[in-house]
Amino acid sequence: MAKHPYFPLDLELPGFVPNLIPYETILAVFFGCSALVVVFMFVLTGRFKYLSAVERLWAGWWMVTGIIHFVIEGTVVANANFYKDTTGNILNEIWKEYAKADSRYATRDAFIVQMEGVTAFIWGPICFAIVYGILYRSAWRFTAMLLVSLGQLYGDVLYYLTCFHIGVEKHTRPEPLYFWGYFVGANAIWIIVPITCIIYCARHVNAAVAATGKVKSH
């Protein structure tokens, strides 16, 4: 049985198979494909002449985050044995690599599985609906964006807090790539962008309410 690289090192993971794809390739595929989705959406939404550049960027964000939630995070929820994969499936390879930053994904920690389940199968589909709402400027889009952004922010904050409550050193490798790159950097995206989105939506909702309040009834 191959020795796994996860913390704690005495963790029992029968059937573990090391990454079959170099981590450089895994990161290039993940971030490269994410960037391509955003660029593709920005170009595609150019046909909607009434959309601003900011709205087109938001469409790209919600499409890529929906794919990440539903496809990538959905994989780790549905496949408890991702670390045993011998085929080189890129989705399983991503999780084998990320588990170096948080072995709770491999041990099926209750919080992780449930949190990722909500993220994948509730927030994920709503993200795709939001893209539709942005493209056709549906009135409900701001409510949906606020709801999912709050959910993402809340889930990420709990993720960090449970890590620190348990002790990060117990399940996270200390190397800069794994701690600062994966654990801190990758997850911080779902704090920074949701906060930005909440502010964006709140301004539009507040402006709409203020405008409605100025209309006199006859």
Residues 139-195 pLDDT 10s: 999 999 999 999 999 999 999 999 999 899 999 999 999 999 999 999 999 999 999
Region for 87 from its dihedrals, namely left if φ exceeds 0, alpha if ψ lies in -120 to 50, beta otherwise: alpha
Quick check: 55 and 123 in contact, CB under 8 A?
Answer: no
* pLDDT one-digit tens code per residue, 14-48: 999 999 999 999 999 999 999 999 999 999 999 99
pLDDT attached to residue 213: 74
State the Cα torsion 76-192-128-113 to the nearest 10°: 20
Q: What are the Cα distances from residue 122, in Å, to 11, 66, 74, 106, 213?
A: 31, 10, 10, 22, 34
CA pseudo-torsion sign 108, 112, 116, 117: positive
pLDDT of residue 211: 87
Share of the chain above pLDDT 70, in %: 97
Residue 93 has pLDDT above 90, yes or no: yes
pLDDT of residue 218: 46
Pair of tokens at residue 119: 């993220």
In 3D, which of 117, 70, 108, 73 has the Cα closest to residue 94? Answer: 73
Q: Which residue has the tokens 């704690």?
A: 8
Over residues 41-60, the mean pLDDT reads 96
Kindly report the pTM of this predicted structure: 0.93
- pLDDT at 215 (0 to 100): 56
- pLDDT at residue 216 in the model: 53
CB 12 within 8 A of CB 106: no
pLDDT of amino acid 2:
74
